[in-house]
Amino acid sequence: MFEQVESFEAFLKHKEEEPALLAYFSTESCNVCKVLKPKVADLIQASFPEIKMVYIQTDKLPEVAAQNQVFAVPTLLVYFEGREYIRKSRNIGIGELEREIDRPYSMIFGE
């Protein structure tokens, strides 16, 4: 599942060290996020098991959100080898997300 990010430094460390990272930006009060988050987790665990998932609460870590130009929740950022490949915000379709992740994931992990 998602690992809670507690600091900007921890986020940078994940971004630098993980070959694939999905960052889920949200707040506790976001009702859409409460429905979407488990669907994203299920998709990643089932189809893209090499992707590390982290959760950033934008109200508790506004500097992480600001540094990544995240101004709305939910926002998903997918990084491969430290570079942002995918950015999804607000209306996020699981099928569309899966299709967008598939190609770079296959190129890096050969699946």
CA within 13 Å, CB half, 93: 4
**Residue 99 maps to which CATH number?**
3.40.30.10
How buried is 86 (Cβ within 10 angstroms: 0-12 exposed, 13-18 middle, 19+ buried)?
middle
pTM check: above 0.85: yes
Tens-place pLDDT, residues 2-20: 999 999 999 999 999 999 9
Range of the domain at 98: 3-109
Tens-place pLDDT, residues 43-54: 999 999 999 999
How buried is 5 (Cβ within 10 angstroms: 0-12 exposed, 13-18 middle, 19+ buried)?
buried
Tens-place pLDDT, residues 64-75: 999 999 999 999
* Beta strand spans in 1-111 (E): 3-4, 20-26, 52-57, 75-80, 83-89
- On whether the CB atoms of residues 81 and 16 are closer than 8 A, the answer is no
Residue 111 has pLDDT above 70, yes or no: no
